[in-house]
Amino acid sequence: MSEKPLNLVHLSTLVAVAILVGTELVATSWAAGWALGGLFQLDPAVSRIFEIVFALAGFVGLYFFMRTAVRHEPIR
């Protein structure tokens, strides 16, 4: 079974989109956790937990976004 060669244009587009959207999504999520911790004047440890939970939510969002992007821009 021979596989199709990699489509480098689609691959470079997906890498660029992952970097751009990933940075925006994860940074915004992290900042939201930081802002909520400061707004409610939470303990720094609790604020860090908020940041981590929100950042993980950003990574989950990035995963689902990239899954859809790969479906529409196949690499092979």
Q: Could you give the number of structural domains in the chain?
A: 1
Output the pTM of the full model.
0.86
Q: Is residue 65 part of a domain?
A: yes
Which structural domain range is residue 60 located in? 16-72
Q: Is residue 8 part of a domain?
A: no
C-alpha dihedral (67, 71, 74, 76), degrees to nearest 10 = 80
Determine the pLDDT at residue 4.
Answer: 86
1 pLDDT band (50/70/90 cuts)? low
Residue 33 exposed, middle or buried by CB count within 10 Å (0-12, 13-18, 19+)? buried
Q: What's the pLDDT tens digit per position in 18-59?
A: 999 999 999 999 999 999 999 999 999 999 999 999 999 999
Q: Is residue 3 part of a domain?
A: no
**C-alpha–C-alpha distance, residues 54 and 29, integer Å:** 5
